[in-house]
Chains A and B, each alone.
Chain A
Amino acid sequence: MSARVRRFGRELAYLTAGGLTSYLALVTWTVGLSLVAGLAVLIIAIPVAVTVAAAFRWVVELDRQNARIIAGAPIGRAYHRSARPGLWPRMQTALRDRQFWRDLGWLLLHSVVGQLLAIIALTFVATTLATLTLPVWGGYIPGDAAHWGPLPLGEARARWAGPAVAIPLAAITVWLTGLMARAELWLARWLLGPRAAGPAGDATPAAEPLGAPAFRYRPEIAIPMHGVVAFVVGITLTLIWLVTGAGRSFWPVWPWFALLTTIAVHVLLVRAARQQTGDGMLRVLLRTGIEFAVGLALMLVVIWALAGGGYFWPVWPMLGMAFPLGVLALMVATPWRDSEALAQRVDVLTRTRRDAVDAQAAELRRIERDLHDGAQARLVALTMKLGRVESRLAAEHPDEAALIGDARADATAAIAELRDLARGIAPPVLADRGLLAAVQALAGRSPVATEVRGTIAGRLPAAVENCAYFVCAEALTNVAKHAPGARATVELEQAGGELSVRVSDDGPGGADPDGGGISGLSSRVSALDGRLTVTSTAQGTTIDVGLPCGS
């Protein structure tokens, strides 16, 4: 019960904090967008845009922290970082970063939704508290006519209706707060959380969707409708102007401008929603911008012509629009070096990972050597000395000799355990004789009848040999565990810069690719950029591994 109350408190706090940040979001996006739009015709728009992008990031971070601290659900962040310094590259990176557009979307949505949800939640809570305490303060409301609906508040008995209502109201409040908090958290996760682009797959946290929308929005219907409505409104206003004495100043230009802008924004949103990449966003922006500018220019020329011609004043707005569009076009046309920065980073990561894996393989072999030369050797020397004492005592002090013999047996057992440990770390025969010999030894030790076939010329890199060996070890252990009577075959082949390891058995199948052993293998294999496939049918199981081993 108290856990539920605590959770309710957290949800309420989350919504309230969200309400506060929504005010900040409102201020941020209105000021930010106005600045950028207003200054768009000037070159100072570029540093302003960079600052605005940074401001968006900062404000949005507050919401992430809100989610982490209060709701206990951390939201990660993934922003592109500009590879080169300077305002122009930074603006390019910011506008090409999908997360920037999602930040903007969040600010726009949250400035409305956040306030709304917070106010609803707080109102419900306040109302619940008020009705609950009605018996206490209800009598102080001045005037005999003080009523709460049909109930006169002057009567003490009537006031007890308050708590009666408060109890179901409290239940509704708690439920509603939970629902709203989850909805806001889901929205925050969806817009602010990281997505992995590219072959690694989508890393969106698995937030449950709140259910299908009540109706389907179809842009191919909505946009023409919007256009028609806008046109009708514009024509109506123009007619009004005509009727009320046309001629002085063509004030309908402002409504026409506003209507055109709303259509442009609508089209922009629809197109933007279809974009997968930051580059696509820029192109959409450019295209919609050009269409808007052309439409506006046409509109202005029509108005100029209707107003009697003369000084061609539309040239100024057209030039003004040309500047930001020119900047956009320049950005789109520049082949962006972000991919180069990314490729460099991938290079560095690959190299350092390979070094780390190689270092680990060497380290394991060194540990095994140290064990051999250090602890194991000392224990052997110990058993020798104990043996000598034992034989000296055997004749005259048989009890003491027996005790020493026990001690020697303990030391011998320790040596055996160390040996098994060292074999698990870095099997000596693998380091000494190579992969094929080690796998043959492995096959011999296994209780499963195993055949080893292989063509490997010479030695392979230590990390590759280690990985292949442990793949075979794990696979054969699995066969022994799950299909004890089966026969297994291990095939090792080195061809075309790749070592291929295939362990197959004719057991009953049913291997679980997500099982602990196999997923451990898969992380070993992927650390070397290898591939792992598990096929398990009623005819048997095959584990197929490919490891690149260079030329």
Chain B
Amino acid sequence: MIAEDHALLREGLVALLRENGIEVCAVAGDGDGLLRIVAGHKPDLAICDVRLPPGFTDEGLRAAIEARRRQPGLAILMLSQYVEPAYTAELLATGEGGVGYLLKERVGDIPAFLDALERVAAGGTALDREVVSELVRERSAASGDELAALTAREREVLGLMAEGRSNGAIARELVVTLGAVEKHVSNIFGKLGLAAGSDDHRRVLAVLAYLRAG
């Protein structure tokens, strides 16, 4: 389902998803609508704008968090024109289930958008590049020594991990072999002192927890 109050964007999203074989079961224009539809239709994934009526501040985020509380494991992808690390933190704190936070303009890059949708629907994470780079910036400003110990390539891999990509996706993105990526990943976890997680989602959470701890 889609919760978006701006008609132009809503229609555009619906058309885009339908063209790519994703069924949109319902649309909502505000937070209450979101909660009703989630309870009624039980969609696989809810795409939600952070800013919704009536207050146009963060009603969408509040509604999404509430929806996840009522229906644990609900996959939610937040769309916003602004990236605020504070909102990201709140979203990630809501527990299990797929979580995503993307800038609205990412929707134009259709292959990447669909990839993110699939990741979130499958229970993984999709964080916008901007969010991740802000987190990294914050962390290196707070205590830059640890991150400075990573090589440039390792920092790239760290960023892509934080976005929620799988090793395979990272390998495709950086045009290297899967083995090289796995080696980088274990180096990173070793240098930063993180426990290597088994699945991607936990790994992302570990990396993000590290980045936010700064």
Contacts and interface: CB of A to CB of B under 8 A. Distances in A.
Interface of A: 369, 372-373, 376-388, 390-391, 408, 411-412, 415-416, 419, 423, 428-429, 431-433, 437, 440-441, 444-450
B16 A441 contact: no
A380 B110 contact: no
Interface string B1-32: 00000101100110110011000000000000
B107 interface: yes
Q: Which 6 A-B pairs have the closest CB atoms?
A: A383-B108, A432-B57, A387-B108, A384-B12, A444-B138, A387-B110
Contacts of B8: 377-378, 381
B104 A433 contact: no
Contacts of A388: 15-16, 19, 110
Contacts of B141: 444, 446-450
A449 B142 contact: yes
A448 B19 CA distance: 46
A448 B108 CA distance: 34
B96 interface: no
A27 to B, nearest CB: 71
B86 A429 contact: yes
11 contacts: A381-B12, A383-B105, A391-B111, A408-B108, A408-B109, A411-B108, A419-B81, A429-B86, A432-B58, A437-B86, A444-B137
Contact of A441 (B81, B85, B113, B143): B85
Which of B113, B137, B141 has the most chain A CB within a 10 Å cutoff? Answer: B141
Interface of B: 6, 8-9, 12-13, 15-16, 19-20, 51, 56-58, 81-82, 84-86, 104-105, 107-111, 113, 134, 137-138, 141-143
Given A390-B110, A429-B84, A444-B138, 13 more contacts: A372-B81, A376-B104, A377-B8, A380-B108, A384-B108, A387-B108, A408-B109, A415-B105, A428-B82, A428-B84, A429-B82, A433-B86, A445-B138
B134 A384 contact: no
Given A419-B81, A444-B138, A380 B107 contact: yes
Contacts of A441: 84-86
Contacts of A408: 108-109
A397 to B, nearest CB: 16
B111 A415 contact: no
Nearest to B15: A388
A450 B15 CA distance: 45
A376 B82 CA distance: 11
A458 to B, nearest CB: 15
A383 B16 CA distance: 11
Contacts of B142: 449
A415 B81 contact: yes
Contacts of A423: 82
B57 to A, nearest CB: 4
A384 B142 CA distance: 37
Contacts of A449: 141-143
Contacts of B86: 429, 433, 437, 440-441
A517 B107 CA distance: 38
Contacts of B84: 428-429, 441
A194 B134 CA distance: 54
A431 B81 contact: no
A18 B137 CA distance: 69
Contacts of B85: 441, 444
Contact of B107 (A384, A428, A440): A384
A447 B137 contact: yes
Contacts of B51: 372
Contact of B105 (A380, A440, A450): A380
B6 A384 contact: no
A449 to B, nearest CB: 5
Contacts of A376: 81, 104
A419 B51 CA distance: 15
Nearest to B58: A432
Contacts of B9: 377, 380-381, 384
Contacts of A433: 57-58, 86
Contact of B56 (A369, A415, A446): A369
A416 B57 CA distance: 20
B134 A412 contact: no
Nearest to B108: A383
Given A381-B12, A446-B141, A419 B82 contact: yes
Contact of B137 (A383, A431, A445): A445
Nearest to A376: B81
B105 A379 contact: yes
Contacts of A377: 6, 8-9, 81
Contacts of B109: 387, 408
Nearest to B138: A444
A380 B104 contact: yes
A385 B12 contact: yes
Contacts of B137: 444-445, 447
Nearest to B6: A377
Nearest to B5: A373
B18 to A, nearest CB: 10
